[in-house]
Chain A
Amino acid sequence: MIQSGQDTLPQAFFLPADPGYRFCLFHTPQGTKPKSRVLYLHPFAEEMHASRRVVAQQCRSLAAEGHAVLQIDLLGCGDSSGDFGDATWATWVHDTLLCLHWLHEHTDQVPTWLWGLRAGALLACDATKAWHAQHPTEQLNLLLWQPVASGQQQLQQFLRLHAAAQWLGRSAMGEPPAQQLAAGQNAHVAGYSLSPTLASELEAARLDLPSGNGRVGIIDLSVSSPPTLSPWLQRQEGKWQSAGWQVEAQTVEAHSFWQNVVESSLPKTLDWATRRALM
């Protein structure tokens, strides 16, 4: 799957999965032999849509530099089968493994990267555990863009959207989402239906990796000038190094494009740091 030429459009296809199909985009690497194969894992709920343009630009930039990049819409997200309320974390881990197998079948044997944004970074960690359990000799590498500290924090931020809508004077819709979940019902937040299963799985998700010897690239975005690495990520870096991973953290001054649906473009600094991480 190698092509040459400028700005090749990605190939769109539906990957058979369980249940249904997943919408995928494959960005064909330019050049004769790909430098790496990369699976991108999108962030949670509305952040996926807010970050779509920046991510598409990064995928094209990586493909132009010779990386094979696969994007998936996870179960219940984007153009894939199911509603958000059907999604579970376990299915998303399974979707990730499915895509890794697809990349192994359709691309050359080159280093494999899981690239996750925000909760996508959490998913990348859990998928790495599952992949290494099945394929102990095939190491994965991880590229983590602005990882969330924990699934618990991501869940809290998502549930706060309900409260935020009330502060804006929108009519309160039903019980608070935490109460709906506690009662075993799906919570309805900002147009998304969240199942108690996904909520509890997300809450339990940690940014932990099993021992391994692959590479981990962390890219921390900050509005501070000069940008500084968050203290918790510094601790994380040390922890993963002790577990055998080769960790390189970079900080980039860039705005929080995943939280804002105002049209965002890929910051040049972020593109540069990302291409450097995969070098």
Chain B
Amino acid sequence: MNHLPDVLRVLDDALQLQGRSTAFTANTPLLGALPELDSMAVLAVVSGLEAHFGIAFSDDQLSGASFATVGSLCELVTESLDGTAT
């Protein structure tokens, strides 16, 4: 399932992008590219995704690599949802 629209919605809210995320694609870089992405904002994205998708990431699942691009965040969500389903 394509989680991109939902992930972008959470990103926009957590980082207060005011709709800028509509121009984002899976290849849009996040860490190091978005000035809004400080540690509080990273946490806001993590908590936002958990609340939106009703999932709980384990600390082992989370790393800087998950925040490299919009696509890697979507993969993190997919992995977690697949894990919940099985």
Contacts and interface: CB of A to CB of B under 8 A. Distances in A.
Contact of B39 (A164, A231, A260, A262): A164
Contacts, number: 73
A160 interface: yes
Contact of B44 (A166, A222, A260): A260
Contacts of B36: 262
Contact of A164 (B16, B43, B54): B43
A169 B40 CA distance: 14
B62 A163 contact: yes
B40 A223 contact: no
Given A168-B64, A169-B32, A259 B47 contact: yes
A216 B81 CA distance: 33
Contacts of A173: none
Contacts of B39: 161, 164-165, 168, 170, 190
Interface in A205-261: 222-224, 230-231, 255-256, 259-261
A163 B60 CA distance: 11
A235 B40 CA distance: 29
**Interface residue range, chain B:** 20 to 34
B40 A261 contact: yes
A167 B40 contact: no
A108 interface: no
B67 A161 contact: no
Contacts of A170: 39
B38 to A, nearest CB: 7
B4 interface: no
B48 interface: yes
A226 to B, nearest CB: 14
6 contacts: A157-B46, A164-B42, A167-B42, A256-B44, A256-B48, A259-B48
Given A161-B43, A259-B41, 11 more contacts: A156-B59, A163-B59, A167-B42, A168-B38, A169-B64, A224-B52, A255-B16, A259-B44, A259-B47, A260-B44, A261-B40
A-B CB proximity, top 10 nearest: A167-B64, A259-B44, A164-B39, A164-B42, A223-B13, A165-B39, A262-B16, A255-B13, A161-B39, A260-B16
